[in-house]
Amino acid sequence: MSQNIYDDPQFFAGYATLDRSVKGLDGAPEWPAIQDMLPSLAGLRVVDLGCGYGWFCRWARDQGAAKATGYDLSSLMLERAREMTDGADIEYRCEDLQTLTLAANSCDMVYSSLALHYLPHITPLLTCVYQALTPGGTLLFSAEHPIYTAPLKQGWQEDEQGQKSWPVSHYQQEGERISNWFADGVKKQHRTLGSWINALVAAGFVIEYLNEWGPTAAQIAVNPALGEEKERPMIFILRARKPA
Considering just the CA atoms, what is the radius of gyration of the chain in Å? 18
- pLDDT tens for the chain, 244 residues long, are 565 555 666 666 666 666 666 677 888 999 999 999 999 999 999 999 999 999 999 999 999 999 999 999 988 889 989 999 998 889 999 999 999 999 999 999 999 999 999 999 999 999 999 999 999 999 999 999 999 999 988 889 989 998 889 999 999 999 999 876 555 667 899 999 999 999 999 999 999 999 999 999 999 999 998 998 999 999 999 999 999 9
Domain range list for the chain: 3-152+165-240
CATH classification code of 3-152+165-240: 3.40.50.150
Smallest Cα–Cα separation from 111: which of 176, 179, 25, 194?
Answer: 25
Task: Render the burial of 63-83: b for 16+ CB within 10 Å, e for the rest.
Answer: eebebbbbbbbbebbbebbee
- Beta-carbon neighbour count of residue 148 at 10 Å? 20
For the chain, how many residues are written?
A: 244
Mapped onto helix, strand or coil, the DSSP state of residue 7 is helix
